[in-house]
Structure 1
Amino acid sequence: MQVKDLNHPQIHLDKTIPGHKVGVWRIAVSPNGKLIATASEDKTAKIWDWQGNLITSLIGHQDVVRAVAFSPDNKIVATASYDKTVKLWNTQGKIIATLKKNNHDLGAGALNISPDGKMMATADLEGTIKLWQIEQEQGKVSVKLNKTLKSHTEEVRKIIFSPDGQLIASASEDNTIKIWHRSGKLLKTFYGHEAAVWSLAFSPDGKTLVSVSEDKTAIIWNLKQMFELDLLAAGCSQIRDYLRTNVEVSPSDRLLCQNSDRQN
C-alpha cells in the first residue's frame, strides 16, 4: 500500500507500506483522520496509522475481505467477506460481532455505515442489499436485520450513504446506479453507463453524485433535479383530479401536471 502526502501542490510518494501478502481491495480512512483500514485477498483487514505503522490485523475471515468501513465515532471497523459473513471489530482487533443469521447467501462484497452510526448497509454478489440496525448500549453492540432490498440483478460493487444519512446509493455490475431512502424505498434508478459501475461518491452537500465505470467514463448526476421532480409529482398527485374535473380550471392549467404524469 502507498500513502501520498496531499498537503502540498506537488504530490509525491510519502510512504509505501508492505503488509498484505496479496492484493488490497478496499481502503477506508477513519472520520477523525487518524487511522487507515485496508481489506485484502489474503483474508485479513489491517489497521494502520499515517506513519505506516501496523496497529493490528483483523484475522477471522475465511475468504477474501472485499470491503471495510469505520463507524463515525472511530471505534468500530466493519468488514465484508466472500465467506458470507460481515464482522464488526474494535480498533484493537477484537471481534465485536459476526453476522451470520439472515446474512447474504453469496459473499458480501460491499458495505458502509451511516453517518449517525445507527445503520449499516451491506451488499452481495447477486445484487441483494441488506440494511442493518446498529445499537450500542453500555459498551455492547448489537446488530439486527432491518430490510432486504432486491432490485439490482448483478453484484453490487459499491454502496454509500449521503452526507445527511438519508439516502443510500448503490453501484452494480448490472450497469445501473440506484438511489434508496434509508427506509428501504427505491427512489430512482440511473441508466447511463454501458458496463459495470465500480464506484460512487456524493458531493459534501449531497446534491450531486459521481460514478465511475468499466466503460471508461465518469458521470456526474444532478440529484437536486431528481428531488424537484419528486416534489412536483407529490404535488400533482394531490391536485390531479381537481385539474381534470373542475369546470373553472382553464385548458392550459389542466396541462400543468402532464409532465409529471409522463415521469411516472
Structure 2
Amino acid sequence: MALKQHNLTCTGHTRPVVFLNFSGITDGKYYLISACKDGKPMLRQGETGDWIGTFEGHKGAVWGAALNVDASKAATGAADFSAKLWDAINGSELASLPHRHIVKSVSFSTDSSQLVTGSNEKLMRIFDLNRLDAEPLKINGHTSSIRHALFLNDDRWLISASDDKTIRLWDLKSLQEIQRLEFSSIPNDLELSADKNLLTVASANSVSFHEINGLNKIKEYQVPTIVYTASLSPDKAVFVCGGEDFTMYKYQFEDGTELDSFKGHFGPLHCIRFSPDGELYASASEDGTIRLWQTVIGKTYGLWRRSNIPISIDITSLRGVPMTVSWLPKKDINPNLLKTV
C-alpha cells in the first residue's frame, strides 16, 4: 500500500503567502524565506520549517523575497514602492531602495554583489550592493508589470517574465533584449533549475521547460488546472506544480507520468519550490500557510520519522534564537508542530 503524504504546516502569517525562496546549503543547513500580503516576510529553518525571525519594516504587502546563496542577506519587494535589503543573521535592515510602483520580484546575483528588482513600472532595476548610493541600472522593454526577474549565465544575462505574456532575455552589458518567448497567457511562474541550465515556466494549464541557451522548449506537459507555480527537483527526476484547484500535482520529468496528486491547502497555491538538497518541497497558499512535503514519502528527514513515537527536541540555539520544539505525529491526520520561542 502506498504511503500517505504527511505535510508539515508552518503557521505565523495572517494573509496569503505569495512567494518562497530557499538559500543554498551552508554548513549543512539551508533556510527558507516567505513573502506575504501581511507585510511581514519570515525566515525559517529549511529542513523543519521552524520560525527563525520576521523582517519588520515594510508598510504594505510583500510580493517578492530572496535569500543569497549563504543566507547571510535577504531581500524583499513590496507594495509600499520599495525593495529592502536585510542582514539575515540579525534581521536588521541594511537599505531601503525606493521605486515608483509596487515591487513584485527581487533576486540576488550569484556572487551577491547585485540585486535585480522587477516592478509594476514595467522595468527592472539592477542595484550594486557594494555601492548602494549609486543609481541603479534600468532595463526597459516590457509593456506590462514584471512578475519575475532572474540572473543567468554567470550574471551576464537577465531573464524576466511579465504580464505582457512574454519572457525576455537581456544582455547586461548592452542592457538590450536578446530574445523573447511569447505565450497565449501570462507566464505565472519562472524558475531556474539547480544546475542553471533549464527554465521551468508555468502558464495557463501547462508547465514547460526551456534550455537557457536559445530558450528552446524541450518539454511541455498539460495539467488539469490553471497552473500558478511549478518547481523542478534538483536532480531533474520530478516536478511539482499547483494552482487554482488547491491541488498539488507531482509528475515524472522525463515523460510527464503523473506520480501523485493530493490536497493540503485550503486555497489556491501561489508558489512551490524544492529545497536545495531535493529532500522536500515547500508550498505557499492563499490560505496563509506554508507546507513542507517529502519528496520520498516515509524517509527519515528533518521532523519526519518512520515510527509513530513522539519526539521532543530541545534546540538551545538556532542561529542565535532559543527554541523548544515538540513533535507528535498522529495517525491518519497531518502532524502537529508545536513551538515555543
What is the TM-score when the length of structure 2 is the normalising length? 0.58
User: What amino acid does structure 1 have at the position aligned with 2:142?
Assistant: H
SS in 2 for 1:87: strand
User: 1:24 maps to which residue?
Assistant: 62
| Higher CA-based Rg | 1
CA contact (8 A) 1:198 1:212 kept: yes
SS in 1 for 2:236: coil
CA contact (8 A) 1:110 1:156 kept: no
CA contact (8 A) 2:191 2:201 kept: yes
**Is residue 2:78 matched to residue 1:47?**
no
User: 2:136 maps to which residue?
Assistant: 96
- Give the Cα separation in 1 of the matches to 2:171 and 2:253: 26
Alignment of 1:123-138 (within 5 A): 123-135=161-173
- Partner of residue 65 from structure 1, selected from 94, 97, 103: 103
Change (3 A) 1:90 1:189: same
CA contact (8 A) 1:210 1:218 kept: yes
- Give the Cα separation in 2 of the matches to 1:163 and 1:13: 25
Q: 1:153: how far off? A: 1.9
User: 1:56 maps to which residue?
Assistant: 95
- Give the Cα separation in 2 of the matches to 1:2 and 1:98: 26
CA contact (8 A) 1:164 1:206 kept: no
User: 2:178 maps to which residue?
Assistant: 146
Higher strand share: 2
Cα RMSD between the aligned structures?
Answer: 2.1
CA contact (8 A) 1:46 1:58 kept: yes
Give deviations 1:141-186, integer Å, cap 9, x for gaps: x533110111x222222211112222111122x2322211111222
Q: 1:48: how far off? A: 0.6
**Is residue 2:242 matched to residue 1:191?**
no
User: 2:235 maps to which residue?
Assistant: 205
- Give the Cα separation in 1 of the matches to 2:176 and 2:249: 35
Alignment of 1:103-252 (within 5 A): 103-114=141-152, 116-135=154-173, 142-150=174-182, 152-172=183-203, 174-182=204-212, 183-195=214-226, 197-225=227-255
Change (3 A) 1:149 1:80: same
CA contact (8 A) 2:104 2:119 kept: yes
Q: 1:115: how far off? A: 6.2
User: What amino acid does structure 2 have at the position aligned with 1:212?
Assistant: G
Q: 1:211: how far off? A: 1.6
Count of aligned positions: 213
Higher helix share: 1
Q: 1:224: how far off? A: 2.9
SS in 2 for 1:149: strand
Change (3 A) 1:49 1:71: same
Where structure 1 has 5 or more consecutive residues not aligned to the other structure, the ranges are: 136-141, 227-264
CA contact (8 A) 1:30 1:70 kept: yes
Q: 1 or 2 for the larger relative contact order (CA 8 Å, sep ≥6)?
A: 2
Give deviations 1:32-79, integer Å, cap 9, x for gaps: 2211111111111111112210011111x2211111111111111111
- Give the Cα separation in 2 of the matches to 1:32 and 1:108: 26
Change (3 A) 1:111 1:7: closer
CA contact (8 A) 1:115 1:163 kept: no
Change (3 A) 1:115 1:217: farther
Where structure 2 has 5 or more consecutive residues not aligned to the other structure, the ranges are: 1-39, 257-341
- Give the Cα separation in 1 of the matches to 2:175 and 2:151: 12
Q: 1:7: how far off? A: 7.1
- Give the Cα separation in 2 of the matches to 1:176 and 1:116: 29
CA contact (8 A) 2:231 2:240 kept: yes
Change (3 A) 1:156 1:13: same
User: 1:234 maps to which residue?
Assistant: none
